[in-house]
Amino acid sequence: MNSLRKTDLIMLVFGVALFIVLQGLITGRILNSFWQLNLIILCINIILSVSLNLINGYTGQFSLGHAGFMAIGAYVSVVLTTNFHWPFLIALLAGGAGAGFLGFLIGLPTLRLYGDYLAIATLGLGEIIRITIMNIEYVGGAAGFMNIPHNTTFTWAFFLMLATLFIIKNFVNSTHGRACIAIRENEIAAEAMGINTTKYKVMAFTIGAGFAGVAGGLFAHCFYIINPTSFTFMQSFNYLIMVVLGGLGSITGSIAGAFAVTFVSAGLASWPEFRMIIYALMLILLMFYRPQGLFGYIEITDFKIFSRFRGGRKS
Amino acid sequence: MTQLLKAEGVSKSFGGLKAVSDFDFYIDNGSLVGLIGPNGAGKTTAFNLITGVYQPTKGNIEFDSNSIVGLKPYQITQRGIARTFQNIRLFSELSVLDNVKIAYHSHVKYGLVEAVLRLGRYFGEEKRVEERSMELLRIFKLDDKAQEIAKNLPYGAQRRLEIARALAAQPKLLLLDEPAAGMNPQETQELMEMIRWIRKEFGLTILLIEHDMSLVMGICERIYVLEYGIIIANGTPGEIKKNPEVIRAYLGGEA
């Protein structure tokens, strides 16, 4: 059997084992409902940070509109489950598709911009999405959308997170992912090597937005009510912090970043005013001692323990 | 002999500045042609016109008997023109091997779904790309550095890697923009051998810009001389050396 497939299998077995342990802790009531909710939020944050990393880290297009796409996915899926009684999974995927489609439409014109200009444009677009939702009476406007079925369980969140990791990891390790990375490294050279840079920038943006939509759907079904204030640009910054903390261009890093931010935030639930101070300190220390992020470009599967399973490949 | 590349009356102006004017130019299939001229003569502009980075203000460029005017750079690469850059543009944070693998992009035969689910041709194609990339690296004596980060290579090795990467795109026509810039005489000598060898081995047509006259005169079969955007001479190295216009352009004065 192929060595890469073996690594996949090991990761899958590890993932399922982790799930069994955590689910055991939940059913055994060792984790109270606060920590249960935080585990679900962690899974959602991992989906968001990994999908943002595809845009910001791998393709090098600085986007600050992730919360906007999350909002699209959230609202599309809650309308479908609450008003039309669609099955949960189909509604989530529809939310993801809606966010992805919007990402595609927005990506076509905005990805002509570079660096800071793109960041400002996506920041603005995220806000436009939020304010538009706030003014649509059908979804409750500023008061929020109510009576959402409480569908998101730890099982849903965990396995959708695994699926996201699997898909994005495979994407970046293919010729398509290499095309995106080439754009980050040197756009002119990438184009000269036969890569359609516009196509791949828009593709990365669409896929990233789509997964943000799925995460938004999961997030919305955690609570009985959602409202537009959950999707401000401060949320986009939160996901950006996770990505930068873990390392732009490392999936393992994004998981670690999501883990750190989620639990610092949960641990400080009683002192919310300290959160931003701690985030700021974390980032300052990071920039001093490890500017490439906790993991840089390195993945957990690059470590020696995995090369043992990998046959002849040097690393 | 058939003409692989033909430019007719190509001009490029930037505002009031005519960078290249009425450029008539052809390259025979399988030949090795040089493009020389003083600084600012428009050599790199000519390269950028051929590779689609700039669009000509006027005139037509044909490659393999089809017009390539209006195509994007990546489309031109896919049709069979690859290039290197005067100021090296490697994917500097990536490994040497990944630099070459990326250039195989247009020749990888699996789709997005196959890539994401790792089905069908994915593993076979990835293996093929890796093997062929390693082969290219061996030719350029970079195989022992395959896992090194490209920016950590010595200068000469970076130049070689750029040529290896361009070859991975499997071109018919290879454009080399000052391949010997910054090399010492010994490295230049090795580069000459290398260019001769890859041309034979890969059946390539090569167009190169170079300031190192020993290299240009040593390997080119035909040379174009450009001055102020105008071609002032065209011929074999022997003819170019004796051409009074060329001597005037390089040495100045009334020759």
Reported ipTM: the value is 0.91
* Neighbour tally for B158: CB within 10 Å: 19
Q: Calculate how close chain B gets to A280, using CA atoms only, in Å.
A: 28
Distance CA A179, CA A185 (A): 10
CB distance B91–A195 less than 8 Å? no
pLDDT band at B104 (very low <50, low <70, confident <90, very high): very high
Mean pLDDT, chain B, as a whole number? 91
A&B contacts, CB < 8 Å: 102
* CA angle, residues B171, B176, B177, in degrees to nearest 5: 140
**Looking at the partner chain, which of A170, A193, A196 has a beta carbon nearest the beta carbon of B102?**
A193
Torsion of CA B142, B206, A196, B9, to 10 degrees: 160
Contacts of A145 (CB under 8 A, 6+ apart): A75, A78, A79, A82, A139, A220, A225, A226, A227
Q: What is the DSSP string of A157-221?
A: HHHHHHHHHHHHHHHHTSHHHHHHHHHHH-HHHHHHTT--HHHHHHHHHHHHHHHHHHHHHHHHT
Q: Which pLDDT score, from 0 to 100, does residue B253 have?
A: 63
**How far is CA A123 from each of CA A5, A49, A266, B134, rounded to the nearest angstrom?**
39, 16, 26, 43
Contact call for B115 and A185, based on CB within 8 A: no
Mean pLDDT, chain A, rounded, equals 90
Least confident of A48-52, A89-93, A262-266, B92-96: A262-266
Smallest Cα distance from B199 to chain A, Å: 19
Query: A43: helix, coil or strand?
Result: helix
The confidence score (pLDDT) of residue A282 equals 86
For range A87-105, the mean pLDDT: 96
The pLDDT of residue A3: 63
**Could you tell me what percent of chain B has a pLDDT over 90?**
67
Query: Nearest Cα to B207, choosing from B82, B88, B62, B104?
Result: B82
Judged against a pLDDT cut of 60, whether residue A302 lies above it is answered with yes
Nearest-CA neighbor of B208 among B24, B4, B11, B36?
B36
* Contact criterion met (CB < 8 Å) for B72 and A196: yes
What letter represents residue A212's amino acid? A
Q: Which CATH superfamily is domain B1-80+171-255 in?
A: P-loop containing nucleotide triphosphate hydrolases (3.40.50.300)
Closest Cα in chain B, distance from residue A204 (Å) = 12
Minimum Cα–Cα distance from B80: chain A residue: A194
Q: Which residue in this structure is represented by tokens 């990546």?
A: B74
Mapped onto helix, strand or coil, the DSSP state of residue B178 is coil
For A11-28, what is the mean pLDDT?
A: 91
- Tell me the C-alpha distance between A82 and A140, whole Å: 13
Closest CA to A222 of A52, A112, A123, A88: A88
Nearest CB to B112; choose among A5, A176, A195: A176
Assess contact for B7 and B40: CB atoms under 8 A: no
Of B108, B123, B166, the CB nearest to A175: B108
pLDDT for A192 = 95
B255 pLDDT band, cuts 50/70/90, is very low
Location of structure tokens 């002849």:
A312
The residues near B124 (Cβ < 8 Å, ≥ 6 apart) are none
3-state secondary structure of A285: helix
Is the pLDDT score of A189 beyond 50? yes
Contact A188, A168 (CB under 8 A): no
Under the banding of pLDDT at 50, 70 and 90, the label for residue A310 is very low
* CA distance to partner chain B, nearest, from residue A182 (Å): 6
**Beta carbons of B93 and A297 less than 8 Å apart:** yes
Q: Assess whether pLDDT exceeds 60 at residue A314.
A: no
The CA distance from B63 to B65, in Å, is 5
| B133-167 pLDDT, tens digit each | 999 999 999 999 999 999 999 988 999 999 999 99
Neighbours of A281 (CB within 10 A): 11
Query: Tens of pLDDT along B6-15?
Result: 999 999 999 8
Chain A residue numbers touching B171 (CB-CB < 8 A):
none
* A44-53, A265-274, B24-33: range with lowest mean pLDDT: A265-274
Domain ranges of chain B: 1-80+171-255, 95-164
Chosen from B84, B85, B116 to mutate, greatest number of chain A CBs within 10 A: B116
Average pLDDT over residues B157-178: 94
Burial A113-138 (b: 16+ CB within 10 A, else e): eeeeebbebbbebbbebbeebbeeee
Strand, helix or coil at A240? helix
pLDDT of residue A305: 59
Model pLDDT, residue B183 = 84
What secondary structure does DSSP assign to B127-162, as a single string?
HHHHHHHHHHHHHTT-GGGTTSBGGGS-HHHHHHHH
Residues of B in contact with A314 (CB under 8 A): 147
Pairs from B7-10 (Cβ < 8 Å, separation ≥ 24):
B7/B49, B7/B50, B7/B59, B7/B60, B7/B61, B7/B62, B8/B59, B8/B60, B8/B61, B8/B62, B9/B58, B9/B59, B9/B60, B10/B49, B10/B56, B10/B58, B10/B59, B10/B60, B10/B61
**What average pLDDT score do residues A261-267 get?**
90
Work out the average pLDDT over A294-311: 67
Do B22 and B10 form a contact (C-beta atoms < 8 A)? yes
Inter-chain contact A192–B122, Cβ cutoff 8 Å?
Answer: no
Percentage of residues of chain A with pLDDT beyond 70: 95
Residue B93 C-beta-side C-alpha neighbours within 13 Å: 16
Amino acid identity, position A312: G
According to DSSP, residue B23 is labeled: E
User: What's the CA dihedral at A84, A87, A92, A97 to 10 degrees?
Assistant: -70
In 3D space, the residue among B205, B223, B99 whose CA is nearest the CA of residue B162 turns out to be: B99
Residue A283's pLDDT band, with cuts at 50, 70 and 90, is confident
**What distance in Å separates the CA atoms of residue B151 and residue A244, rounded to the nearest whole number?**
23
Residue of A nearest to B81 (CA): A192
Contact: A190, B102; criterion CB under 8 Å: yes
pLDDT tens column, A217-241: 999 999 889 999 999 988 999 999 9
Q: In chain B, what residues touch A185 (CB-CB under 8 Å)? A: 90-94
Which residues of chain B are within 8 Å of residue A191 when distances are taken between CB atoms?
72-74, 77
Indicate yes or no: CB of B82 within 8 angstroms of CB of A315.
no
If you measure CA to CA, which chain B residue comes closest to A178?
B102
Torsion of CA B14, B18, B20, B21, to 10 degrees: 130
Strands B17-28, B173-177: parallel, antiparallel or unpaired by DSSP?
unpaired
> What's the alpha-carbon Rg for chain A, to the nearest Å?
19
User: A188 contacts in B (CB within 8 Å)?
Assistant: 53, 85, 89
Show which residues on chain A lie within 8 Å of chain B, measured between beta carbons.
2, 4-5, 8, 167, 170-171, 174-179, 181-182, 185-186, 188-197, 203, 297, 314-315
Comparing CB atoms, the residue among A186, A195, A297 nearest residue B89 is A186
Q: Is B87 left (phi over 0), alpha (psi -120 to 50) or beta?
A: beta
pLDDT band at A1 (very low <50, low <70, confident <90, very high): very low
- The pLDDT score that the predictor gives to residue A300 is 77
Locate all alpha helices (DSSP H) within B23-119, ordered by sequence. 43-50, 73-79, 96-103, 112-117
Facing residue for B147 by CB, picked from A176, A193, A314: A314
Instruction: Give the closest-approach CA distance of B126 to chain A in angstroms.
Output: 8
Evaluate whether A47 touches A262 at the Cβ level (below 8 Å). no
Contacts of B78 in chain A (CB under 8 A): 194
pLDDT-derived band at B50, boundaries 50, 70, 90: very high
Q: Tell me what the mean pLDDT of segment B221-227 comes to.
A: 93
Dist CA B77 CA A196 (whole Å):
10
SS3 at position B173? strand
What dihedral do alpha carbons A79, A81, A83, A84 form, nearest 10°? 110
Instruction: Return the beta strands (E) in chain A as ranges.
Output: none
Tell me what pLDDT residue A101 has: 97
Contacting A with CB below 8 Å, chain B residues are: 51, 53, 72-74, 77-78, 82-83, 85, 89-94, 98, 101-106, 108, 110, 112, 115-118, 122-123, 125-126, 129, 147, 165-166, 168-169
What percentage of chain B reaches a pLDDT higher than 70?
Answer: 98
